[in-house]
Structure 1
Amino acid sequence: MMKVFRCAGRHGYAVEVSPFIPNRVACAASQYYGIAGCGTLLVLDETEAGVALVRRWEWSDGLFDVTWSEANEHVMVAGGGDGSLQLWDTTNHNAPLRVSKEHMQEVYSVDWSQTRGENFIVSGSWDQTAKVWDPALSQSLTTLRGHEGVIYSTIWSPHIPGCFASASELGGQVLFVEFPVTQSSSGDGTLRIWDVKSAACRLAVPAHRAEILSCDWCKYDQNVVATGSVDCSVCVWDLRNVRQPVNQLRGHTYAIRRVKFSPFSKTLLASCSYDFTVRFWDFSRNQPLLDTVEHHSEFVCGLDFNLHIPNQVVDCSWDETVKIYTPACLSSHSAAP
């Protein structure tokens, strides 16, 4: 059974299920497709009857991503079109706890670290920088430069402390490079792996011949990362040998906006696209496409698996809806970690 929340005049960019509360979802949305106008941050609860609004905040610019705190069930961070990160608390009804505006352009990605003993936020911006923050967002701890194009995605490794991946748009022809590397005029269209402690890029992978809009880490293997691109493909990479992908998943007909690995299966992942679909894949199979879900009438931009409820998926679209559902292909999927 699918449950739907409609937010008129707000176009969904990102959804994330709470790491603490099984039925709770945050959604970052924007007015006028994120091109102009304000942003809205929604906190939603799935109920027996449907999806209920818990909290709604307005922001002066579009909101493009949201991440829950891994330490406090009430707290989340959103990234805005004005270059800001905002720290929100569901027990504070009116305004964010803190706003930090160091980025010079849109913040398109935010993520909260998951490894034990760490409590950091990473942000990626169209200003070509990634920044690492403490949980209070007082000021950035470090700024990482290296991408020569817009950064669309920044994701912490769930395994390796102080390590995150980032994905960028293409700035020209890209050649294989492994760090240490000298800057060249070859442009940028890479998946990059960063070490925060040394503030250095450890690996740069020319993952696609087009912009990479999303990346994600496998929850069961520290060496496996997936990338989703404007070239309509998802590539699965083993970071120990990046000369070619482990698998290239084809089926989408327009740019892939987001990729997510399953928290319950080592080889299962999902992707959503500007072709209005969500697709589910098992990259270990010769025929990896498990199913194509077509239930939106606009770009599908946000996607997440529920960490608490096996096989439950949440997505959001420019068609002003957030949808919570369990795809039949996941219920019958037999792959295990």
Structure 2
Amino acid sequence: MGPPKKAKAKASASGSPKKKAKKSARKKAEPMTVDGEQSEPSNPAVWRPGLDEVGEDEELQYDPSTYDCMHTMSLDWPCLSFDILPDGLGGPRSAFPHSISIVAGTQAANARQNSIALLKLSNLGQGKHGEKAPKEDDSDDDMSESDEDEEGPPVMHLRQIGLSCGVNRVRAMPQQPGVVAAWGDNGQVSIWDMGMQLNEVTAADDERAQRGKPQRQEPRHVHRHSSECEGFALDWSRAAAGRLASGDCRKGIHVWDANEKGNWSRVCERQGHEDSVEDIQWSPVEGTVFASCSVDKTIRIWDTRGKPTPQLSVVAHAADVNVISWSAQSTFMLASGGDDGALRVWDLRMFGRDAAANEASFVANFTYHRGPVTSVEWCPAEATMLATSSADGQLAVWDLAVERDPEEEAALAAHMNAASPEDLPAQLLFVHLSQGEIKEAHWHPQIPGMLVTTAADGFTIFKPSNVP
């Protein structure tokens, strides 16, 4: 994990410009009156959802300098799930404007209005966010509004495959991003070849938005779990190309592989959970090992080569375990989030070793969120950093290597944009408040620090300024 880091100097709880009257980062600073005279306003305070009230004379605002960029976009229907596709633009890359590609699955009001959508979002500039170096011929007075106009608006290219069901979860194969798996609410896991659509949006003119109508095509493969029950758990193996695992709401886990002809067949079936399987994560280095979590409050480790029972098991949370993430950099680390609002981090080398104390075998436990944790993911660029999203409307960025330094915080207090409450964990680097109930969040694998979230009101693409 590396040596501890000192706490970051910049307070960075933030909100959305479109909803600053409802969702925001800090209270507006008001001048203080002393003996009839107004003094200079104090530093604004961080607003904590569920804890702090907003007075009738107070306004919630966010500080644009806490982001390097932030953009929002939406489709015709909300998306519960999406995946970021690696592209051919290289990485790590940091120069603006950025371009990213996403695959998402919709949840429409009418089943036949659903689709799997493949998007390229280009010309993602900084706008009014971040600290930009002034041009030689610009004075400080002309920098406020001109930058966003010069960059031009973001451009979206969209291709869709029409479906007759809603999409609970969608994942793209890491080794072949045009191959996409979708868990439908009709009880089917389907695999789609979207290579043509990916090529079309990749080659599209970045200056002109394109939005194709949903196309109808047959999936490459359809797989049903027992009794046509639906599910949410779905993951491609990063170590074995074409290997997919899916878990259903009736405790079942199926693993299937692609053969040389590109057809899929079931390799094995696993039973061991006592309730719905909520998430699955393959080991980043072992092609036969995966983890699962469940409503039964446990995390279990499986090996497809062995017996149909789990190799390891631990009671992980006090409530349903919703999501897990297996670190690709520190491959012995696993993170989990539950209905209890807790983020827990596990060292698999010690996982469940003491059966009598297995509920306390985690290496880190944070209970910051005020609602169920809906997504957790390790940062691909920083081994000690991860992000969580929650039904409380917050996305939080964490760095496990940070430790609090009171002397440094006191020295820098005058320069901080907001005073951080002492009860916030030192490891909490950034809080993003732009949406309602965030369903999923992912880091971009090639743009360090960039995050994408989805909720009922659409997507947000942003990069915190204090995240490397």
Q: Would you call these one fold, judging by a TM-score over 0.5? A: yes
The residue that corresponds to 2:72 in the other structure is: 4
Following superposition of structure 1 onto structure 2, how do residues 232-251 of structure 1 map, counting pairs within 5 Å?
232-242=341-351, 243=358, 244-251=361-368
Q: Deviations over 1:30-74 (max 9, x none)?
A: 125x9x886432111121142514312232222111111233232
**Structure 1 vs Structure 2: percent identity of aligned residues?**
24
The residue that corresponds to 1:47 in the other structure is: 122
- 1:277: how far off? 1.2
Candidates 244, 253, 260, aligned match of 2:370: 253
> With structure 2 as the length reference, what TM-score do the two structures score?
0.62
The residue that corresponds to 2:135 in the other structure is: none
The residue that corresponds to 1:279 in the other structure is: 396
Relative to 1, partners in 2 of residues 1:207 and 1:120: Cα closer, same or farther, differing over 3 Å? same
The residue that corresponds to 2:104 in the other structure is: 27
Task: Verify: 1:310 aligned to 2:448, yes or no.
Answer: yes
- 1:137: how far off? 5.7
The residue that corresponds to 2:246 in the other structure is: 123
- Looking at secondary structure, tell me which structure has more helix per residue: 2
What is the Cα-based RMSD across aligned positions, in Å?
A: 2.0
Task: Verify: 1:105 aligned to 2:221, yes or no.
Answer: no
Equivalent residues of 1:44, 1:51 under 8 A apart: no
User: Distance between the aligned counterparts of 2:118 and 2:238, measured in 1?
Assistant: 21
Comparing 149-158 with 91-100, greater Cα deviation is found at: 91-100
State the number of aligned residues: 307
Equivalent residues of 2:112, 2:162 under 8 A apart: no
Equivalent residues of 2:168, 2:232 under 8 A apart: yes
Higher RCO by CA contacts (8 Å cutoff, separation 6 or greater): 2
User: Distance between the aligned counterparts of 2:263 and 2:88, measured in 1?
Assistant: 23
Equivalent residues of 1:134, 1:141 under 8 A apart: yes
Equivalent residues of 1:75, 1:89 under 8 A apart: yes
Relative to 1, partners in 2 of residues 1:6 and 1:17: Cα closer, same or farther, differing over 3 Å? same
Equivalent residues of 2:220, 2:263 under 8 A apart: no
SS of 1:73's partner is strand
User: Distance between the aligned counterparts of 1:107 and 1:21, measured in 2?
Assistant: 32
Q: Which 4+ stretches in 1 moved above 6 angstroms? A: none
Letter in 2 for 1:43: L
Letter in 2 for 1:292: V
Equivalent residues of 1:12, 1:302 under 8 A apart: no
- Looking at secondary structure, tell me which structure has more strand per residue: 1
> With structure 1 as the length reference, what TM-score do the two structures score?
0.85
The residue that corresponds to 1:334 in the other structure is: none
User: Gaps spanning 5+ residues in structure 1: where?
Assistant: 171-188, 332-337
The residue that corresponds to 2:379 in the other structure is: 262
SS of 2:439's partner is strand
The residue that corresponds to 1:193 in the other structure is: 301
Equivalent residues of 1:311, 1:330 under 8 A apart: yes
Letter in 2 for 1:7: L
User: Distance between the aligned counterparts of 1:137 and 1:61, measured in 2?
Assistant: 23
Candidates 305, 329, 332, aligned match of 2:466: 329
